[in-house]
A and B are shown apart, each in its own frame.
Chain A
Amino acid sequence: MNAQERKELQLTAAKVRLGIVEGTFHAKSGHPGGSLSSADLFTYLYFKEMNIDPKEPKAPNRDRFVLSKGHCAPGLYSVLAQRGYFGEEELQKLRHIGAMLQGHPDMKGTPGVDMSSGSLGQGISAAVGMALAAQMDQKSYRVYALLGDGEIEEGQVWEAAMFAGHHKLSNLCVIVDNNGLQIDGPVSQVGGPEPIDKKFEAFGFEVMTIDGNDFEEIEKAFQAARTCSGKPFAIVAKTVKGKGVSYMENQVGWHGKAPNAEEYAIAKEELTKTLEVLENA
């Protein structure tokens, strides 16, 4: 990745973060913390990694993405808007009555959403089904599923992981957003899902642990996932919850709370400044 590419991805990620803040502020609810921690992953997936076309969101041979941690919908919606699946103005209507953008992803009404999700642990199974369909039909599309590190406390995640490993679904790439925090506190104190890498390894995955807020590391991981054969791939992405908004970073309280007007103004100012610094770099 050259400096220009990195800069462009960072600029896009800053815009995605602005959209997350915008959406949750206008919704007066929602989940900014985990959306912000995943913003760089969303950006890389939708702007670099996946074979997709916003003009043909249902193209049969497209790559698929399942947001298994469905509560981070503001992040997904923001990147979909940036990528041109729908207008950015939709973000301001997030969670409103009659709005397209539901609190959790709804595939029926939202272009670019490949699977409805929100009930934790279920998205990964659907992603496994998609990867299996590709394998059965000898199609080359790839399937990506983003999970939370709290989410993997759900038993169904490991049912799905066992199946994926057993069936050697090498077209499946699971990403765990390992920001270390869940609603009730640090994951290490609440559910104890760690060690995450060793668990996925034991279920037959090739695993890579990276800094999930660093585009060069993200790129290396997705490239490794593409070349991995005979096994599904898991990326344990160490991230900072609330990344990009100073007062939200590593604060568990920002898991599922919207900024008020004052906080919104600060977040907007900070992210706008990030954009300016990047543009002038």
Chain B
Amino acid sequence: MREIVKKATRESFGEAITALAETNPNIVVLDADLAEATKTGIFKKKYPERFIDCGIAECNMVGIAAGLATCGKVPFAASFAMFSAGRAFEQVRNSVGYPHLNVKIVGSHAGISVGEDGATHQCCEDIALMRSIPGMVVLNPADHYEMQAAVKAAAEYQGPVYIRLGRLAVESCNNNEDYHFEIGKGITLREGGEITVIATGLMVSEALKAVKALEEDGIDARLIDMHTVKPLDKELVLKAAKETGRIVTVEEHSVMGGLGEAVASYLSEVCPTQVTKIGVQDVFGHSGPAVDLLKEFGLCADNIRATVKKVLGK
């Protein structure tokens, strides 16, 4: 077992990209005046000549990243998810997605855990937007170790990738020595036969707490850490549906267009299964401490546990 690390995935990202840059001279990092918040500042400090601050102009930043990629660079373009994936959506679609350029779009402060900044900055639509672009890989790592591995995989992958970063510190769940990250392959964190919880990003650690508590309730729940929302690990989802029947998905994202809909839409065609989606229910967030907001929106272990019990009628 590796030591349990409690760290925000944005910080793990900043460290990982800085470490990778040592062996990959083509990596460059772009930001839009948020380097301290997105943690690209860690990279900037070590590689100022490979760091490009684009100012508060995310659409231009994505276009510049596209141009750099045509010249062999591996650009990571970062801002808050609301702006890199939201504001610049059409630039990502037309200047990066359509030409299938080797650009990595980084969206930090995703979801409602932005907290006090409130609804304008709480992006719960980025996964939906990014997964609708043909050829786009969508990664939402759960913890420090997974983020490190995901950034490495994204840098090695030839083509556009979206990586979602969280603001809150989170305890690592992927602590096994034999942990192996592969784009499009979910991680089964806990075996179980009665029901499957599929979680992504920040929600994986909450789901892990929930399934442990469910064990005390006498419920044998499986837990999948779906770090890649696209391409979805269909094999793993289908196996879970066949072996455990009911599925509960958990994401810090709108229930529209995210992990839950990806799972439900796939299963509805191949193996109709009851899928219950925990996520943001078609509402805007609001200001407040992040942890309190997560509780209010049901994005916490207690609600996952209660939802699973309700689904099972227990």
**Residues in A lying within 8 Å of B, measured CB to CB:** 60, 64, 66, 106-108, 114-116, 118-119, 121-134, 136-137, 155-156, 159-160, 162-163, 166
Main secondary structure of the interface of A (DSSP, over half): helix
Q: Which of B63-71, B126-134, B229-237 contacts A (4 or more CB under 8 A)?
A: B63-71
Complex Cα gap A66–B67 (Å)? 10
Contacts of B66 in A (CB 8 A): 115, 125-126, 129
Chain A residue at smallest Cβ distance from B99: A116
Chain B nearest CB: distance from A165 CB in Å?
A: 12
Chain B nearest CB: distance from A30 CB in Å?
A: 19
Interface pair A132/B59, CB less than 8 Å apart: no
Interface pair B70/A115, CB less than 8 Å apart: yes
Contacts of B100 in A (CB 8 A): 108
Which residues, 54 to 110 on B, are CB-close (under 8 Å) to A?
A: 54-55, 57, 59-60, 62-73, 75, 90-91, 94-95, 98-100
Contacts of B28 in A (CB 8 A): 136
Interface pair B70/A114, CB less than 8 Å apart: yes
What are 14 pairs between A and B in contact, CB < 8 Å? A115-B99, A116-B99, A122-B59, A125-B64, A125-B66, A128-B63, A129-B69, A132-B52, A132-B68, A133-B67, A136-B28, A137-B71, A159-B60, A166-B55
Contacts of B65 in A (CB 8 A): 129
**Among candidates B52, B57, B94, residue contacting A119 with C-beta atoms closer than 8 Å:** B94
**Residues in B lying within 8 Å of A, measured CB to CB:** 28, 49-50, 52, 54-55, 57, 59-60, 62-73, 75, 90-91, 94-95, 98-100
Interface pair B67/A115, CB less than 8 Å apart: yes
Whether A125 contacts B68 in the complex (CB less than 8 A), given A156-B63, A159-B59, comes out as no
Contacts of A118 in B (CB 8 A): 94
Complex Cα gap A116–B99 (Å)? 6
Main secondary structure of the interface of B (DSSP, over half): helix
Whether A125 contacts B60 in the complex (CB less than 8 A), given A107-B70, A133-B68, comes out as yes
Complex Cα gap A21–B185 (Å)? 51
Interface pair A163/B57, CB less than 8 Å apart: yes
Whether A116 contacts B98 in the complex (CB less than 8 A), given A129-B66, A132-B52, comes out as yes
Interface pair B98/A159, CB less than 8 Å apart: no
- The listed residue with most B CB atoms (<10 A of its CB), out of A114, A116, A118, is A116
Whether A130 contacts B67 in the complex (CB less than 8 A), given A60-B72, A156-B60, A159-B57, comes out as yes
Excluding A115-B70, A128-B67, A166-B55, 16 further A-B contacts by CB distance (< 8 Å) are: A107-B99, A116-B98, A118-B94, A122-B94, A125-B59, A125-B63, A126-B64, A128-B63, A129-B70, A129-B71, A131-B67, A133-B67, A133-B72, A136-B50, A136-B73, A160-B60
